[in-house]
Amino acid sequence: MRYYEFGHDGGGNPICFDANDNCKIVWLDHEESFRSVWVNDHITEFAACLAALQDAFDGFEAAVGDTDALWDEGFEPERYEQLTAAFARIDEKTLTQGFWPYILDDFRPR
């Protein structure tokens, strides 16, 4: 495999282009010997997912005034539903496969 790192998650796991698989975006899990986990098929889908997540953060902050509560409470149900709908429009697989379900689960309403 040939990976080109262009970022990382908050835990230090690299986010890369996979040059051997049409430059798909992958996350390399350092806790599992840098196992490759699918993120998106293309950089434009990755950017769209990041933008949707940022929009949800911005809306939460505007409504609540503080993003610290997000880590304890998750998004409000309607905002979470809007976020998952945005991800589904980008690529249905983001809801069930690879990297994004882990991220979305962090923000599920509690």
pLDDT digits (tens, 9 = 90+) for 30-70: 999 999 999 999 999 999 999 999 999 999 999 988 888 89
Grouping H, G, I as helix, E, B as strand and the rest as coil, residue 106 is: helix
Total residues found in the chain within this entry = 110
End-to-end CA distance of the chain: 39
Of the CA atoms within 13 Å of residue 24, those in its CB half-sphere come to 14
pLDDT band at 102 (very low <50, low <70, confident <90, very high): very high
Give the chain's mean pLDDT: 96
Contacts of 79 (CB under 8 A, 6+ apart): 56, 59, 60, 63
Contacts of 102 (CB under 8 A, 6+ apart): none
